[in-house]
Structure 1
Amino acid sequence: MVDDLRIAVDIGGTFTDVVLEEDGRRRTRKLLTTPQRPEEAVLEGVRLILADAGRRFADVAVFVHGTTLATNAVIERRGARTALIATEGFRDILDIANESRYDQYDLTIEKPRPLVPRARRLTVPERIDVHGAVRLALDEDAVRAAARSLAADGIESVAVAFMHAYVNPAHERRTREILKEEMPGLWVTLASEVCPEVREYERTSTAVANAYVQPLMDSYLERMQAALAAEGFAGAIYLVTSGGGLTAIETARRYPVRLVESGPAGGAIFAADVAARAGEARALSYDMGGTTAKICLIDDYQPHTARLFEVDRAARFLKGSGLPVRIPVIEMVEIGAGGGSIARLDALKRVTVGPESAGAEPGPACYGRGGAHPAVTDANVVLGTIDPAHFAGGSIALDTEAARGALDRDVAEGLGLSTDMAAYAVYEMVSENMASAARVHAVERGAAIGQYNLIAFGGGAPLHAARVAEKIGVRRVIVPPNAGVGSAVGFLAAPVSYELIRSRYMRLDAFDAAAVDALLDEMSREATALVEPGARGQPTFERRTAFMRYVGQGHEITVELPSRTLQAADAQALREAYERNYAALFERHIPNAAIEILSWSVQVSTEAKRPAVQGTAPAAAAPRPVGRRPVFDGRSGRSTEVPVYRREALPPGSRFAGPAIVAEDETSTYVSASFAAHIDASGCIVMDRKDA
């Protein structure tokens, strides 16, 4: 085994990306995902990339993996046959939710469909109060009766979510023991372990999501682990969590809900590293793959994070329209706007794109695999921004005539447009969808979108980034090396990490330092135990935070805690820190108002190294294009011959003006006429808006 040979694999809805890193050098491969057995594309990609490097599976020290399988299972409702056991009287918590409506004035509002229908929700007598005291003992006979009912109904997995079990999990743990006695093969998820926090709806929803995907994910990870071992791999396997950290495969199999955004999280890490090298303290990560596109704000070289993520939103931009999953997550907005997103005309004959995707099977029409409807990739092929002979490094030959035929049938004929103009309409609409998502996300975070620069990666983003930047008023676009497999590259930069969050209510004017220290120390031991198998001897660091609010408010603000034993006098320091953070968000704080703490967090991780800012590259000779290609411009209504450059032939310091295309094996970058481009010291394509 070679100590410095590492491989990262990202399974997307359309493509599986593989990156091999050795001595700071990278090799990449991009293959179509095999949806029925995702490990097949993974193994094939690893075999190919190892052959490229003249290596074997036994030479690999680290295998890092991220996937959207858990998210897709929820969206497509392909999870296990799952049940919920709740406290008597709380059978309908998934329907009642938090009693809010994501669109107050929509009389035909459609709420997200629960993962567990009402018929599979059971209750048992038990009750623990908010302080953890037992008010009603667990009825064990009722639990055994529930187990018999689950067996008769063919249930594979069950979530147990009792009231206030985050304070005292005894009843949930005893319920698991009984269920395992009655049904040894049953998968059991406890809400007190997956999400030990207040807010019973979010806690229950998270536990149900974990139970729903656990059999699928565990089976996949077990097959993957066995297949790698059969090939001779003996190194460490890590999974990327939604929060941007790495975790051991055993932890991932126990808490697969933590993997719901693992692929996009890797992309945000990648963008943060690119921002650090470029010295861009404010950056907007734009990741567009084959199925979805993601936007994430980066400030001070750190992606924004959150504690709540919504899966399967019924309304694209409306909070509360999806299934809540309460886990540490890198905050981003994700929409169905990828290269495989299908274009069509709606009832009003408007061009719409997504969220439905052609995926890898059958794929866009140009793939020649049976796809009959036009996708975004078809539009780019017709426009000329994609070279059909060298797509994905030449591994997939594209059929231009099939793309033109699909666009004619589904778009052009209904509007009386030429094929080229129909392709431009699709290109324009998907770019506008992404621009709208960026605007909404920035507004929700209180950010001025025009003050950020765009970092574009994924197979599709470099083709659309210039147009998206024009729409949102961004003046600079950066396309880093290996942009087409950016998420997989980001996996290799992620630290081994795990964050625990637990709710323990405390008012700041009754601050009990000893009780807080006892809780945090317990959480630290548990988080460390989950990190150590993956850390493999690396030193770890700890970050402690409190989630605080003014008494009576509905949402909390994060305040960092000192990394030492707390003292009673720290209450004043916490108040001052909270008021500073509150004022940063809302311009002013509320003097002398009572403050309460709802939850506490401990994150244990290995060191994440931030790249140094790269210097300015000296000017290079004017680059020579390898050819020219006609590209249709919908604004002028005609095609223009634009130069085509090979990225590997552009040294740092190279400069050229748009319109131009920069081609590479994993993607192509379209530099529009509004931008001039250069290659910076780290090899990034930097596009700057031309002065009007």
Structure 2
Amino acid sequence: MATQTQSTGTRFAIDTGGTFTDIVVLDEAAGTFTMDKASTTPHNTLEGVLAAIDKAGVDLRKVDRFFVHGSTTALNALLERKGVRTAYLTTRGFRDVPEIMRYNRPEMYNPKYHKPQQIVPRELRFEVTERLNARGEVLEPLDEAELRATARKIREADVSTVAVCFLHSFKNSVHERRAREILLEELPDVSVAISSSVVPEHREFERSMTTILNAYLAPVVERWIGNLQRELTRRGFAGEIVLTKSDGGGMTAEAAKGSPINMLFSGPAGGVIGGLYLANVLERPNLITMDVGGTSFDIATIKAANAGTQRELKVNGYPILISTLDIRTIGAGGGSLAGIDSAGALYVGPRSAGAVPGPIAYRRGGTQPTVTDAFVVNGFINPDNFLGGNMALDVDGAIAGIREQIAKPLGLEVNHAASGILRIAMSHMAEAIRSMTSETGDDPRDFSMLCFGGGGALFGAHLMDELSLPAAIIPILPSAFSAWGMLMVDLRHDVVQTIAQRLDGTDARSLEGQFATLERRGWEQLVREAVPEDRRQLFRSADLRYAGQEHSVSVPVPSSLDGPDSMSKLYEAFQSVYESVYGYRLGAPADIVTLRVKAIGKIPAPALSPIERGGPDPEGARKGRRTVHDFLESEAREFRIFDRARLKAGNVIVGPALIEEATTTTVVRHHHTCAVDSVGNLIITRR
């Protein structure tokens, strides 16, 4: 796909998924995109990354700009508990905060609920004498002699990293910073993470867990990034490595080494970044993004051209205080396994065949039917064109697997059994979307659906009907859209400070000074990363709540608070935001909890250029016919087959039809119409 850009370099992006590792290369001189796929290598994802680079024929010596990467390394290390042996240091008397957690029951009606297993066992949790009050004033100085003695105990415990979280350090970091200096003197081979650097926010338990998890993952991520840097340098790469963050921004490799906690949802963020870009280009401000990969189904909402975000998330029961895109994930993808449960009912997912052994049709040793096998059996996927013809699919094996393991036990025809697999998978996806939109008070019918991932184009039209959505959009490069979206990423740093005080008792001039300090820190970070001054941007916001409440809302703050009525305007802005979220306003006094500055380093995004224009008739791209079993209607229909690469802007395809490309197939059902827009996106609507 052509682009318009004034740059003359090359950059590329790689998204490591559960089954495939996708690469998209932008040649800025020629103005073209190319893409390719390699199998993900779960035992060492670096192998899959290098295989994708080799397969795409990228000459790293000519890449003088950016390599943007979305990786599951941090998330997988957490989910699989493959972090490093970690110690925890805290204020005397607060050693057991991470284990006590909160006095609530997250699953109230589950009698088998257990708290998550501790990352740091009690024998590796240490206390030291020091104390600040809630205003950050020193009540008891840090006992440095005691800390050095504790450091010797930590050395004997043979840990790789230490997490430090002192009481009220978000107000005053002096004790934590000094503790880090002493620990590094006494333990030069151990990394140290302090909460005032990782997450300087209130809420003691959540802050301690976030710091612990950051320390737990840091050596793993640092080792992985180091290996990546060394291998790319060995191959002649002289550009910048940018890692995508969970919040949709990017950070340099050096920043990522010290802040791996911000990379947990690095991969899925790419698709939402691309969705934000298209929401503006297509003038469709309300989108539901759906990414159907090999392992998971990831969804997010874009409203008024803005993606939903959250300030806290839970992974395996651990609360984490980071800014992240609001992405919901379920175990439903092309590799989701299908079978018969102990009650004799058909199930699909959440377990996946993954990259190895993969679906039966992949000929890699898979023996249990998957969603992909069902698509192959019902004729949606051309076995001779999979991955552009580079992978020959075993159709007979897929048919035999579904016949023996699903159809015969249920007394069904093979195609009906395959349809059942696809309908159950689709119902899981539809329910996830309904759940997400109901929580936010949205009506799915107000959203178009952006469908990507290897299976997004296959499920998109069916989900559009199931949810009564106005349109399903299949973007360019859909199976590598997350990698494509990463090319739109900007460097981003969130600088925060919790102040927790009444708004009506806050002096505007003092608040302006505190924001200025945060802005200076964000600006200096962009300077260190060599971002040109004309591409640096700063945005202010604050978390406010009505006095006495626990949770807050984020309110944009103007660039200057020196006006006589600036605080009253801030209060009114808070009330408006609160009302938009909760449907009412109280008019009661408010607290200003946390100040935030978002520092953005703009990376020039490629602009899509028009494809060749044609008339409504798409016959020039037609390549044949095929019988397909529509899984929603359980009947066979004759589908016309089109080659997406030969479609022109203005072409209109009347269903039933399949639009094939090297790495996915778009389904246009019998009552649908598909229009090709000016840049090559496919817009499916009901007739």
TM-score by length of 2: 0.93
- 1:619-659 per-residue CA deviation (whole Å, 9 max, x = no partner) reads 33232421222222244433333122111111111111222
2:66 to 62, 69, 74: 62
- 1:473-510 per-residue CA deviation (whole Å, 9 max, x = no partner) reads 21210001111111111111111221122211221111
Give the drift of 1:361: 1.9
SS of the residue corresponding to residue 622 of structure 2 reads coil
Partner residue in 1 for 2:299: 295
Q: Is the 8 A contact 1:282 1:298 kept in 2?
A: yes
Give the drift of 1:574: 0.5
Corresponding letter in the other structure for 2:569:
A
Q: Is the 8 A contact 2:611 2:649 kept in 1?
A: no
Give the drift of 1:547: 0.4
* Equivalent runs, 1:226-245 vs 2, <5 Å: 226-245=230-249
* Equivalent runs, 1:374-413 vs 2, <5 Å: 374-413=369-408
* Equivalent runs, 1:408-447 vs 2, <5 Å: 408-447=403-442
For the pair 1:622 / 2:607, whether they are aligned, the reply is no
Q: Is the 8 A contact 2:644 2:661 kept in 1?
A: yes
* Equivalent runs, 1:9-158 vs 2, <5 Å: 9-23=14-28, 24-50=31-57, 55-158=59-162
Corresponding letter in the other structure for 1:39:
L
2:364 to 362, 365, 369: 369
Change (3 A) 1:56 1:614: closer
Change (3 A) 1:410 1:153: farther
Corresponding letter in the other structure for 2:510:
A
CA distance in 2, matches of 1:144, 1:530: 32
Change (3 A) 1:505 1:400: same
Bigger shift: residues 31-40 or 112-121: 112-121
Q: Is the 8 A contact 2:89 2:126 kept in 1?
A: yes
What are the ranges of 5 or more consecutive residues in structure 1 without an aligned counterpart? 313-321
Change (3 A) 1:330 1:75: same
Bigger shift: residues 215-224 or 376-385: 376-385
Change (3 A) 1:57 1:656: same
SS of the residue corresponding to residue 601 of structure 1 reads strand
Partner residue in 2 for 1:579: 575
For the pair 1:465 / 2:469, whether they are aligned, the reply is no
SS of the residue corresponding to residue 57 of structure 2 reads helix
Corresponding letter in the other structure for 1:668:
T
Partner residue in 2 for 1:5: 10
Partner residue in 2 for 1:671: 668
Give the drift of 1:462: 1.0
Corresponding letter in the other structure for 2:472:
V
CA distance in 2, matches of 1:116, 1:682: 52
CA distance in 2, matches of 1:105, 1:59: 55
CA distance in 1, matches of 2:612, 2:53: 36
CA distance in 1, matches of 2:412, 2:148: 66
Please tell me the root mean square deviation across aligned C-alpha atoms, in Å: 2.3
Q: Is the 8 A contact 1:16 1:33 kept in 2?
A: yes
Change (3 A) 1:118 1:303: same
Partner residue in 2 for 1:316: none
CA distance in 2, matches of 1:604, 1:471: 41
Partner residue in 2 for 1:508: 503
1:282 to 268, 279, 286: 286
CA distance in 1, matches of 2:37, 2:221: 23
Give the drift of 1:95: 3.1
CA distance in 1, matches of 2:16, 2:313: 20
Corresponding letter in the other structure for 1:62:
F
Give the drift of 1:26: 0.2
SS of the residue corresponding to residue 50 of structure 1 reads coil
Change (3 A) 1:395 1:152: farther
Partner residue in 2 for 1:540: 536
CA distance in 2, matches of 1:679, 1:670: 14
Partner residue in 2 for 1:315: none
SS of the residue corresponding to residue 639 of structure 1 reads strand
Change (3 A) 1:580 1:680: same
- 1:300-329 per-residue CA deviation (whole Å, 9 max, x = no partner) reads 2221122122223xxxxxxxxx32221121
Give the drift of 1:44: 2.3
CA distance in 2, matches of 1:228, 1:31: 17
- 1:389-447 per-residue CA deviation (whole Å, 9 max, x = no partner) reads 22223333322233233334543343233332222122111111111111111112121
Partner residue in 2 for 1:360: 355
SS of the residue corresponding to residue 210 of structure 1 reads helix
Partner residue in 2 for 1:633: 630
Q: Is the 8 A contact 1:243 1:265 kept in 2?
A: yes
1:559 to 555, 572, 593: 555
What are the ranges of 5 or more consecutive residues in structure 2 without an aligned counterpart? 1-6
Corresponding letter in the other structure for 1:156:
S
* Equivalent runs, 1:474-493 vs 2, <5 Å: 474-493=469-488
2:514 to 497, 507, 519: 519
Give the drift of 1:130: 1.1
1:597 to 592, 605, 610: 592
Partner residue in 2 for 1:196: 200
CA distance in 1, matches of 2:218, 2:685: 46
Give the drift of 1:609: 7.5
Give the drift of 1:165: 1.1
CA distance in 2, matches of 1:227, 1:608: 24
2:566 to 529, 548, 570: 570
